Structure 1
């Protein structure tokens, strides 16, 4: 089991954020990703929304980054830690631009990029971006094919309804071969099918932990399964957030668990097929307490779950 680092003030989600996070600055976050790397955390993942309609602010909060610029910044501030998105909205922008942004980050970071794509869920956001919400699945299907073609072919070409190109050059290619690790985030059957075809990782959100094994079996049983699924990310605190960012009361996801509870919970997830996780943060008062807690996790929890035993 590998642990990702929950960087404060990535968002202000009612179900998961704490009041002190709103005062955390970019300079603070830069210092913290270096801290996380020093203590052995292996990934920082950036949530993404481009714009939040006012009626969703109460639950979702107003504060999100664009994933790719934020990933590039974090990669540039560090030397070893991986950068990821959770998720980046695949149909929200041209796939050529997406492919170039990600291969550029992978180039400069010497191959430390993973990307978790999602199709998006917030219709009003799509309306504001001028993207057809009801076609986002079909667009995502074409976009991921086009992106992989750009990353892997010396003479990339693609002909689709939403994107087409031929007789083009595309560099830099990804440092990682055959390309940047692609994960998909989400729980719908179409997401699982897309994961089977194109991905090596899956990031569930609304799936209950005990349902993960059956969904992994479904992915691997697909006739077009690519045989590459190796990673599943499920944070111990995921159950606190419901559909539409509604606050959920999940005793298995409560913050402030003790050492043995955290170890048992992470080992339980590992037994269900989860390979990456993070721990829910207890109620804190300020950033310095967050440093103390994440150091405690790194020293007391991380070595045990890496070994896979207690």
Structure 2
């Protein structure tokens, strides 16, 4: 089982924020990222929203990064750990600019970039940015195909409804071949079918843990499933605490105060469902050093047993 490291103050979600996190700075986060790498964590992911409508601030909080900028900062501060997004809202991006940003991070980091795309859920955010919410699925499919064309072809050409290009050069290509790993976040059938066509990883959010296995089977049953034996699934122990629209859910199996054996058993259940990467929520602590102490405990006491 691989382990993701959750940096504090990446968001201010009502369901997970600890009060001390709000004073954690960007330089603090980069120092913690380096420590997570030293401890042996496998990945750090960066959440993204461009704006948060005031109607959602109570649950979602106002604080989110630009995914590519955050990923680049973490990649530049580290040497071996993978950097990912969680999630990057694909229809709100220009696919050519996004492909360039991601390939640049992958090239400059020596091939350590993963991207997790989602189609978005907040119609108000789409309206503010002038993107048609009801077309986001079609846009995502087209953007994915266009980015893969840019990443993999010496003479990329693409003709679509939302993006077209020809007679262009596009470099640097990603270090990873055929291109950097694409994961998708989300739970609907349309998302899972998109994963089969374009992705090698899935980050479920609203899918219940005991349904993950059957949903993986659904992905792999699609006629255009392409991932082969390298399919990754990320599901954190605390994921079930956050519901649709960032609603707080009281799930006894997702508490942050579980003991070691409870955590080991739960991760074992995830593994049986097909999960390949997880994260362990930090219980209430007093600050950065206590947070890092618990992160070290997870690596020393939990990871070897799962």
TM-score in same-fold range (> 0.5): yes
Using the TM superposition, give the Cα deviation of residue 27 of structure 1 relative to its aligned residue in structure 2, in angstroms.
1.2
- Deviation readout 1:154-201 (Å, 9 max, x if unpaired): 111111100001111100000000000000000011100000001000
> The residue matched to 2:4 in structure 1 has which SS?
strand
SS in 2 for 1:184: strand
Where does 1:111-122 land on structure 2 (aligned, <5 Å)? 111-122=111-122
Greater mean deviation of Cα atoms: 60-69 or 228-237: 228-237
Secondary structure at the aligned position of 1:5 is classed as: coil
SS at match of 1:112: coil
8 Å CA contact 2:48–2:67 kept in 1: the answer is: yes
Q: Structure 1: which 5+ runs fail to align?
A: 306-310
Q: How does 1:108-147 map to 2 (within 5 A)?
A: 108-147=108-147
2:237 maps to 1:233 = no
Q: Against the structure 1 CA distance between its residues 284 and 277, is the aligned structure 2 distance closer, same or farther, given a 3 Å change threshold? A: same
Residue 128 of structure 1 deviates from its aligned partner by 0.9
Q: Offset at 1:224?
A: 1.5
Corresponding residue number in structure 2 for 1:35: 35
> 1:59-97 CA deviation, whole Å, 9 max, x = no partner?
000000001011001000000000000100001111000
* Structure 2: gaps spanning 5 or more residues: none
CA contact (8 A) 2:199 2:227 kept: no
Could you say what the CA RMSD is over the residues aligned between the two structures, in angstroms?
0.8
Q: Counterpart in 2 of 1:277?
A: 278
CA distance in 1, matches of 2:238, 2:173: 36
> Using the alignment, how far apart are the partners of 1:187 and 1:304 within structure 2?
29
Deviation, structure 1 residue 289: 1.3
Partner Cα distance (2:284, 2:20) in 1: 10
Q: Give the distance between the partners of 1:103 and 1:219, measured in 2 at CA.
A: 26
Residue-by-residue CA offset, 1:244-299 (whole Å, 9 max, x unaligned): 00000111101111111111111110111000000111112222211111111111
* 1:1-310 alignment, distance < 5 Å: 1-228=1-228, 230-305=231-306
For residue 219 of structure 1, report the CA deviation from its aligned partner.
0.5
User: Structure 1 CA distance, aligned partners of 2:284 and 2:89?
Assistant: 30
Q: Aligned partners of 2:287 and 2:105: how far apart in 1? A: 32
In structure 1, what is the Cα distance between the partners aligned to 2:216 and 2:303? 25
The question of whether the paired residues in 1 share the 8 Å contact of 2:201 and 2:232 is answered with yes
Q: Distance in 1 between matches of 2:263 and 2:210?
A: 17
Per-residue Cα deviation, 1:85-137 (whole angstroms, up to 9, x for no partner): 01000011110001000000000000000000000111111111111111111
Alpha-carbon separation, structure 1, partners of 2:27 and 2:177? 33
